[in-house]
Amino acid sequence: MLPVSIVIPTYNRARLIREVLPSYLLQGCAEIVIVDDASNPQVQVESRDSATVTIIRTARRQQQPRSRMNGARHATQEFLFFGEDDAYLSPGCISSLLSWLERGTADIVAPQWITTRSLPSDPPRPPAGAPAWQTADVIDPTYFRIFCSDRIPQTPIPVPWLHTTALMRQRVVLELGFDPAYRGNAYREETDFYLRAHRSGIKLAYVPGPPAFHYKGSLNTGGGQHGRNLKSFLWYEYWVARNNYYFLRKHRRALELEGRRTHPFSETTHMMCSRMLHYPGRLLPEFRHFVSPDNRS
């Protein structure tokens, strides 16, 4: 067994987590900790011999940052991998990441992160994509993004932030912590954590290996941080703006010391306008899923 605890926060996605959980069980890790953040219905999983599966239930919603920390504190292994209830992994994904950590490549590592509408029963082929050789190939410093869906690393690439599904030592999480001030959809909570880690001298890397998949099909139009109507969509976007503004305000001084002048309000406004250009493409598939037969839980 790999000395890894997989932590998966979840909210109102009982059916979806049953679909993706087998891909985590196949990783050969010692433990899986599912943090059920007051879901209705509650998450139920069958006991498995391949790994210890622990479900932590909360009586009231704590939101994503607190759920992550709750899972991290309950983890029993030296290494911690953050999974998602709408993500699944290729076979050997975590063992590959662990090998990079043990080589001393970095202190936090993450694989390619591919967005898909396919479930684990029919995983997509990784896109051919463009090769990535250096930090500038994958990092967007304007919007604090990492391009890791079709930019395949040819060698470990040092980066100042990563995406969700990453492997690190448990003590790193317990020492740094996730900031509970990121509320609602907790947009930027991960970027905040990684950026603080990077500035404290912790090395982060985007590494070659079996990819992780971010499922965006019909089963995840509800639950998690998403609702099933226009009001929920607008509420989600409000929290994107609110959390992004908080993020820029929080890191303003550090960014200025790094030579970047930051204007939280105008930069957040610009980002939201950019997001608006993609709303039609995001909304039409979502509304089709709301009435799709396979969307019934």
Domain ranges of the chain: 2-220, 230-295
Using CA atoms, how far apart are residues 126 and 150, in angstroms rounded to an integer? 8
Q: How confident is the model at residue 26 (pLDDT cuts 50, 70, 90)?
A: very high
DSSP E strand stretches across 106-243: 108-110, 113-116, 130-132, 139-140, 145-146, 151-153, 157-158, 167-169, 204-206, 212-215
Weakest mean pLDDT among 99-103, 214-218, 219-223, 236-240? 219-223
Residues in a beta bridge with 213? 88, 114
Q: Percentage of residues in the chain with pLDDT exceeding 70?
A: 89
Using CA atoms, how far apart are residues 216 and 118, in angstroms rounded to an integer? 8
> Phi/psi at 136 (nearest 5 deg)?
-65, -20
Distance of CA 85 to the CA centre of its chain: 9
Q: 44-69 burial by CB neighbour count: b if 16+ within 10 A, else e?
A: eeeeeeebbbbebeeeeebbbbbbbb
The secondary element (H helix, E strand) that includes residue 30 is strand 29-36
Q: What is the pLDDT of residues 258-268, one digit of tens each?
A: 888 899 999 99
Q: What is the CATH number of domain 2-220?
A: 3.90.550.10
State the pLDDT at residue 216.
Answer: 87
The alpha-helical segments, DSSP class H, found in 130-205 are: 135-138, 170-176, 189-199
Using CA atoms, how far apart are residues 116 and 220, in angstroms rounded to an integer? 12
Q: What is the pLDDT of residues 128-155, one digit of tens each?
A: 778 999 999 999 999 999 999 988 999 9
> Token pair of 204, please?
């982060």
pLDDT of 277 > 70? The answer is: yes
**CA-CA-CA-CA torsion sign (120, 125, 130, 131):** positive
> Phi/psi at 20 (nearest 5 deg)?
-90, -20
> Token pair of 285, please?
């598939």
Q: What is the pLDDT of residues 230-250, one digit of tens each?
A: 788 888 899 999 999 999 999
